[in-house]
Structure 1
Amino acid sequence: MFRRVGRFAVHRPWVTILAWIVAAVALGILAPGLKSTTDQAEFLPSHYESVKAGKVQEKAFPQDEQAAALGVFKRADGGKLTAQDKRDVAKVAAGLDAKHYKKISKVVTNEKAVSPNQEIALANIYSSEKNWSDKDVTKSIKSLREDAKPLLKGTQLKLGVTGQAASNLDAEESSGDTDAMIMMATLVLIIVLLLVIFRSPLIAILPVVIIFVVASVANGLIGTAASVGGLKADASITPILIVVLFGVGTDYILFLLFRYRELLRNGEEPKAALAEAVARVGETIASAAGAVIASFLALLLSTMGMMKAMGPSLAIAVAVTLVAALTLVPAVFSLLGTKAFWPSKAWKKTPKNRMANGVGGMVSRRPGLVAALSAAVLAVLAVGAFGFKSQFDMESQLPEKLESVQAMKDLQKGFSAGQADPSTVFVKSKDGKPLDTGSLEAFRGKLKDVKGVAEVSPGVPSKDKSVVQFSVITKAKPSADEAIELAGGDLRDTAHKAAPQGTEALVGGTSAVLADIENAVAHDYKVVFPVAGLAIMLILGLLLRSVVAPVYLMIAVALGFGATLGSTVWLFQDLKGEDGMLFMLPIIIYLFVVAIGTDYNILMVARLREEVRKGVPPREAIRTAVAQSAPTVASAAIILAGTFGVLLLAENSMLQQMGFAVAFGILLTAFVMAMLLVPTVTSLLGHKAWWPGHQDAPREDPLVKAEYGGTHDAPSYSGHR
């Protein structure tokens, strides 16, 4: 099949290229874009309590206005607020309220909105819009910040705006800069590395151009799936989508180009060599992409919509990249022929590759020692994984310089941290009859007694009085571990037990949502990991026609996963002193390092099988496979690790952790697993590695037969010269 695909693309290049251009332009123009959302409740299924509480709120308090943001006032000198300062606070709040911002209903303050220590005053910025990441709301917050500057002139006050809408605005603007930075750094890195590897400006630029076309098609398909098919795709996946498309795309292009160059060196004509290169590595690329796609699709089993959205979106991107690698890439290079390598002449000569040959020789001579040492290194690094601590405080990952972060710190100097975003407790009548608000004072008292609760507002009844709402201000910041544990534990337990007979109590709000997300993630670890692992094993089994090889390959991958997570924990928790790690990090490592990193294991084992089938003795096959594949694996891994590594340039700690973990994991997979551990274990197992099939049985190679008149006594088709 891959030989037919290769021949079609190579001999009908303009048809292939035109089809891709039409698809890219059409989807770029017609497909809807991805929307942003930071409403975590959207990403939870309906059976979680925080989601139920949100639905009760929508039904019982449809016009309820909540503080989308908070204006935090303080004196410029940090002192206590004077009587004049308090009048100025009221004047500024009134001035902002008079602006009538879109979807901001009012900006209000009062005498009670001054902290007990008299250092901080607050102004509530109310909105009836439930989605505080709404574009109009965040634009209004941005305008409000600007409009406050002239109002503050002549006063001793400073104003910072924080709260959910303000944090969403800052996160959106910060990530916008990050996306541009990641794109630029990724492009520069890929171009420079390809230029160093091939010493050809065309080969340095062409993959980037091709991937841009692929990105346009992939984004269009994802947007269409989100709009038409109900896929919950979110614009927050953009940074990950960038590095996946460029990283994986460059990998597959390199797999093809290295084999194409090798065939040219063996005397093949350019078009024949290119078509044969697709035939030779097509199955490897398809299997590698299949492993990645299957792993991403395993996220559909997640209980979190965030993961469910990420999985199919990235799977679509990888599928498009796979098709492009087998069609668009050979079509483009068939038009250029050997001119693609201009001005370098290196493609004509077989390089000495002393380092690759040295590694291949070492692996073949001392397989037992190399296997033991490489496994030991991975095992030692994996020890750090036991210290992993999840962190759900996404706001703490934002850069310190942002206004919402600084204003939150100022707020905490005078008020409880939960003031900006209170939890909500709803008491709902089971039979729909009106509730007596007065009789719920005892319930309110029980909530106030819960450790970690700073204040509980009096109950507010709904229009039909069948639901009463209490606002609970926690001492800790709503997204802090203490508040999350409180909302999902003591507060929820107390509310359930203290609810009067005939009523039901539900706890909602940011802290409760994050508590439910924590439970959802724990569930996902138990479901997604095994399913993704089994999917990869199945693909490996189909590729290798073996039961044994996929088992030890996945054991090696598990070691690599542990080593990657452990190294990241040691760096960020132990050395940098961070309180915890991104809660999604284990899943991200598993899917990106395990799935994408498995590409190199597949490439190595497939090449080893190819050599063994030619009748080459096992040890010599190992040496040749490692020597021939090492440059490809090393180049692809460095580029892929580099594309993820650029995330370390982001100011967001979450992206830094993700960038280091995936980049380091890819390098471990390539240089320790694919080049050392996997080939040595395969060598030690010998014929057993291919059980119950006979994948190591010599087979007729048409190219070798044509050149040498046979297979068994012929030199290795791509062997060491």
Structure 2
Amino acid sequence: MFHRIGQFVVRRAWWVIVAWIVAAIAIIGSAPQLTAQTDESSFLPRHYESIQASLVQEKAFPASFTPAAILEFERTDGGKLTAADQADMNKVVQGLTDKHVAKVEKILPVGPQSISKDGKYALSMIGMEKGAMQKPEAADSAKALREGAKELAQGTALKAQLGGQVAQNLDQQDSSKLANALIGIGTIVIILLTLGIIFRSPIIALLPILSIFVYSMVANGLIADASKAFGLKADNSVSAILIIVLFGVGTDYFLFLMFRYRERLRAGDDRKTAVVNAVGRVGEAIASAAGAVIVAFSVLILSSLGMFTALGPSLAIAVGVTAIASVTLVPAILSLIPEKVLFWPSKAWQREPKNARFAAFGRTVERKPTLVAIASGALLVIFSLGSLGYQGTFDLASGSMPKTKESMVVQDTLMKAFSAGAADPSHVYVTTEGGGKLDQAALTGYIGELGKVDGVAQVAPKPTMSTDGTTADITVMLKDAPATNKAIDTIDGLRKVAHGSAPEGTKAYVGGITSIYKDINTAMARDYSVVFPIAALLIMIILGLLLRSVVAPWYLMAAVGLGFGATVGATSLLFQHVQHEPGLMFMLPMFIYLFVVAIGTDYNILMIARLREEAAEGHSPRKAAALAVQHGGPTVAAAGSILAATFGTMLLAGNSLFSEIGFSVAFGIIVSAFVMSLFFTPALTALLGRAAWWPGHAELAGHGSAPDLKVVEDDRLEPAGRG
């Protein structure tokens, strides 16, 4: 089939190129604007308690005041606040109120209860219109508040800084823009340099960049259309990850095709015939590799978390577009460029290299497959042991921004000067089940029980009552910062007491950001038990269809599982034990799954497909493994190096979230390419022999490899010599 696709693309090259350009312009021109979702609660289904608590709050307290931002005051000389400072703070608050900043509903004056115990810090709580915090305009409001406060504080002894959720969203947005720019530039530079070194040709170095630019517009437009059509919730990290996926995977597939195209030219094919045979030979591997990645990404639609239900399909669309472009747009361009122009100024493409290093690797696999399998497998197991110490953390703001950002400075001040949980207290909502009014006396004893929970710093002595008297809102401040694991553990005890000690005839719900993190943690555990097994099963089916085997998929997936464990282990060792981070970002294992398990499978597929091709030529299992490593090794090494380096650019972003993702995925890709694909998988296949291909081994015995073709004058295809 792929030979036929190659022939069509070669015959209609200009039509294919024009079709892609027209599609890119049409799709991007009609696509809606893709906006980011920043509300953590929106990522959870309604059956979780934290979401039920928010629904109770909306119904019973429609005008409740939940601070969207916090204005923090302190003296510029670090001293205690004076009566004159109190007057200046009220002037700043009144001045901001008079500005009527868009989306801002109220700004509370500084009162005695909002001054720290040491008298050095004071807070003014700022509320926004309902639902405004999740809109892009909220960042503009935060910017106006921040600039207005600083302007009004000029000429006083005060320093005013803005913190809280919308301020963090604003700072995170600025950090994300910088991160995206650094990642995009770094990725392009790496691709240009690496391809330039490999092929010694500026045209080949530029070719994937230009083609990816065209079909990335198609991918982004389709993602925006899908997000609008299915109500998917985007996350701030999606855009940076999309850049890397499009350029990383696109370059991978370009290399798969380019190495085989050059190989066919060296075998004596003319340019068009070489393109047709290159597509015919690696098209199935590209389609299978993309299919495995698309399946792995698409299964995230089963996730409980909105972040992943949006991210998975988005990345699946991007990879699907990349795969189609790799067997249509890229071959069409290659077929139009004369070889001497394409490879200029290098002439090395005309000579078959000895591939001495990879030939040596192949001979090692051929002679000592048992030793190679044990050594490479042991390396994976050793790193996997490090995953036993994995600890997750939910402090996304600290993880995704430098500590010097203003909202982070305010957060640190709140934790030091006030209760660590004061920045975002928890809430216990108690509501009657029969519709009657709550018993105030019973609530007094209930509040006392809540205050005894280990990890609770303070409980408001008087609850806020709904207008009909059926629901009470009890504010609970925790001893630990809202996003810490200790605070999340406290929610377990708080929920147990809140439910068990609730007055008769009432029902209690624990809400707040820490409760949301607790439920996200539960949802992640559920996702791991559902998403991973289903994705593994579907990828195994794809591998089985590609290899015509029910044996090979099992050990290939076992190798991928070891690669996943080794990646989590190495990342845990580096960040938790060497850099002494309190934990890794809670979603990191899912990102490792996305890129190490899904994309890393590409290299296994390419290598095992080449190994099967060599076996179909009549070579013994060990010889086939040696030839696969010799001829496929350079492709895997080049593709793995570029993809690992592109993810490594995330280390330039300057925050721990991207640093953890960048390191872990780069490490996982290196393991997938240089340990699994070059050594572990070929060695195991050599040891299993023809049994690895059962029940398709009969086909191999009959030399079932599809023949190469040549393009004759009337554009028909005829069998060609192997070359």
Match of residue 620 from structure 2: 617
The residue aligned with 1:201 is 202
Contact 2:37 2:234 in 1 (8 A): no
Q: How does 1:221-232 map to 2 (within 5 A)?
A: 221-232=222-233
* Counterpart contact for 1:383–1:566, Cα < 8 Å: yes
1:716 positional shift:
11
Which 10-residue stretch deviates more, 233-242 or 48-57? 233-242
Does the CA-based 8 Å contact 1:2-1:282 persist in structure 2?
Answer: yes
CA contact (8 A) 2:6 2:331 kept: yes
- What is the aligned partner in structure 1 of residue 216 from structure 2? 215
1:387 equivalent in structure 2: 389
- Which residue of structure 1 aligns with residue 481 of structure 2? 477
- Kept in 1, the 8 Å contact 2:621–2:685? The answer is no
Q: How far did residue 225 of structure 1 move?
A: 0.9
- SS of equivalent to 1:469: strand
Determine the structure 2 residue equivalent to 1:285: 286
Go from structure 1 to structure 2 and tell me whether the alpha carbon gap of 1:505 and 1:701 turns closer, same or farther (over 3 Å shift): closer
Identify which of 449, 452, 468 aligns with 1:464: 468
Q: Match for residue 93 of structure 2?
A: 93
Question: 2:346 aligns to what?
Answer: 344
Q: Does 1:633 align with 2:628?
A: no
Offset of residue 82 of structure 1: 2.3
Task: Give the secondary-structure state (helix, strand or coil) at the position aligned to 2:104.
Answer: coil
Which secondary structure state, in structure 1, belongs to the residue aligned with residue 416 of structure 2?
coil
Match of 1:356 among 358, 371, 386: 358
Distance 2:129 2:467 in 1: 17
Whether the aligned pair in 1 keeps the contact of 2:613 and 2:705 (CA below 8 Å) is no
Distance 1:622 1:248 in 2: 25
**1:225-624 alignment to 2 at 5 Å?**
225-338=226-339, 339-397=341-399, 398-437=401-440, 439-457=442-460, 458-487=462-491, 489-624=492-627
Q: Pick which of 353-362 and 59-68 moved more.
A: 59-68
Q: Report if aligned partners of 1:431, 1:502 keep a CA contact under 8 Å in 2.
A: yes
1:150 aligned partner:
151
Give 1:455 deviation, angstroms. Answer: 2.7
Runs (5+) with no aligned partner, structure 2: 712-719
Residue of structure 2 equivalent to 1:9: 9
Q: Single out whichever of 400-409 and 296-305 deviates more from structure 2.
A: 296-305
Alpha carbons of structure 1 residues 501 and 700: separation in structure 2 relative to 1, 3 Å: closer
Per the TM alignment, residue 717 of structure 1 is displaced from its structure 2 partner at its CA by 4.2
Equivalent position of 2:714 in the other structure: none
Supply the distance in 1 between the matched residues of 2:552 and 2:591 (Cα, whole angstroms). 25
Q: Which amino acid aligns with 2:64?
A: D
Q: For residue 711 of structure 1, what is the aligned residue in structure 2?
A: none
Whole-Å separation in 1 of the counterparts to 2:709 and 2:21: 39
Counterpart of 1:636, as a letter, is A
Q: What is the CA deviation profile of residues 380-426 of structure 1, one whole-angstrom value per residue up to 9, with x for unaligned ones?
A: 11111111111111122121110011111122232112222221211
Letter in 2 for 1:90: N
Give the secondary-structure state (helix, strand or coil) at the position aligned to 2:337. helix
Change in CA separation of 1:67 and 1:245 when aligned onto 2, cut-off 3 Å: same
Aligned to 1:644: 647
1:605-647, Cα deviation, whole Å (9 max, x unpaired) = 1111111111123332222111001110011001111111111
Partner of 1:25: 25
Equivalent pairs, count: 710
Q: Is contact 1:289–1:318 with CA below 8 Å preserved after alignment?
A: yes
- In 1, Cα distance between the equivalents of 2:113 and 2:600? 58
1:649 is displaced (CA, Å) by 1.1
Give the fraction of aligned pairs with identical amino acids, expressed as a percent: 51
2-structure distance, mates of 1:112, 1:388 = 40
Q: Distance in 1 between matches of 2:638 and 2:688?
A: 28
Deviation at 1:336, TM superposition (A): 1.1
Contact 2:426 2:515 in 1 (8 A): yes
Deviation at 1:93, TM superposition (A): 1.9
**CA distance in 1: counterparts of 2:319 and 2:608, whole angstroms:** 22
Q: For 1:156-195, what aligned pairs fall within 5 Å after superposition?
A: 156-195=157-196
- Residue 76 of structure 1 contacts residue 157 of structure 1 at CA under 8 Å; is this kept in 2? yes
CA distance in 1 between partners of 2:440 and 2:647 (Å): 55
Match of 2:48 in 1: 48
**Secondary structure at 2:282's aligned position in 1?**
helix
Sort the Cα spacing of 1:230 and 1:71 in 2 relative to 1 into closer, same or farther, 3 A.
closer
Letter in 2 for 1:296: F
Q: CA deviation at 1:541?
A: 0.8
Matched-pair contact (CA < 8 Å) for 2:35–2:136 = no
d(CA) in 1 for partners of 2:343 and 2:557? 37
Secondary structure of the residue aligned to 1:413 is helix
- When residues 614 and 141 of structure 1 are mapped into structure 2, their CA distance, relative to the original with a 3 A threshold, is same
Would you say the 8 A contact 1:450–1:490 is kept in 2?
Answer: yes
CA shift, 1:343, in A, is: 2.1
Q: Which letter does structure 2 place at the counterpart of 1:83?
A: A
* Structure-2 residue corresponding to 1:712: none
| Greater mean deviation of Cα atoms: 618-627 or 575-584 | 618-627
Q: Which residue identity does 1:464 align to in structure 2?
A: D
Q: Distance in 2 between matches of 1:705 and 1:459?
A: 80
Secondary structure of the 1:35 match is coil
CA distance in 2, matches of 1:28, 1:555: 41
Pair 702,399 (structure 1): closer, same or farther in 2 beyond 3 Å: closer
CA shift for structure 1 position 432: 2.4
Q: In 2 relative to 1, CA 554–32 (structure 1 residues): closer, same or farther, beyond 3 Å?
A: same
* Structure 1 pair 706–465 and aligned structure 2 pair: CA distance change class (3 A): closer
TM-score by length of 2: 0.95
Q: CA contact under 8 A between 2:103 and 2:132: conserved in structure 1?
A: no
**Counterpart mapping for 1:51-130 below 5 A:** 51-108=51-108, 109-130=110-131
Normalised by the length of structure 1, the TM-score is 0.95
Cα shift readout 1:43-65 (whole Å, capped 9, x = no counterpart): 11111001111111122222223
Instruction: Provide the rounded CA distance (Å) in 2 between the counterparts of 1:223 and 1:464.
Output: 44
| Deviates most, 80-89 or 667-676 | 80-89
Cα deviation code 1:277-324 (max 9, x no counterpart): 111111101110111111111212211111111111111111111111
Q: Which residue of 1 aligns with 2:681?
A: 678
Task: Name the aligned partner's letter for residue 478 of structure 1.
Answer: P
Q: Distance in 2 between matches of 1:328 and 1:275?
A: 13
CA distance 1:291–1:704, change in 2 (3 Å)? closer
Q: Is contact 1:34-1:235 (8 Å) kept?
A: no
How well do the aligned residues superpose, as a CA RMSD in angstroms? 1.9
Task: Tell me how far 1:430 sits from its aligned partner.
Answer: 1.1
Contiguous gaps of at least 5 residues in structure 1? 708-714
Partner of 2:716: none
Inter-partner Cα distance in structure 2 for 1:426 and 1:337: 73
Q: Counterpart of 1:80 in structure 2: which amino acid? A: K
- CA-CA distance at 1:700 after TM superposition: 6.0
Question: Which one-letter code corresponds to 1:472 in the other structure?
Answer: V
**Structure 1 residues 306 and 667, CA gap change in structure 2 (3 angstroms):** same
1:703, CA displacement in angstroms?
A: 5.0
Check 1:706–1:126 CA distance in 2 against 1; reply closer, same or farther (3 A cut).
closer
How big is the shift at 1:556?
A: 1.4
- 1: distance between equivalents of 2:705 and 2:35? 52
Aligned residue identity for 2:7: R
CA distance in 2, matches of 1:585, 1:716: 49
Distance 1:77 1:698 in 2: 86
Residue-by-residue CA offset, 1:475-508 (whole Å, 9 max, x unaligned): 2221122222222x11111111222111111111
The amino acid across from 2:617 in the alignment is K
Shift of 1:153: 2.2
Are the counterparts in 1 of residues 38 and 235 from structure 2 also a CA contact under 8 Å? Answer: no
Q: Which amino acid aligns with 2:245?
A: V
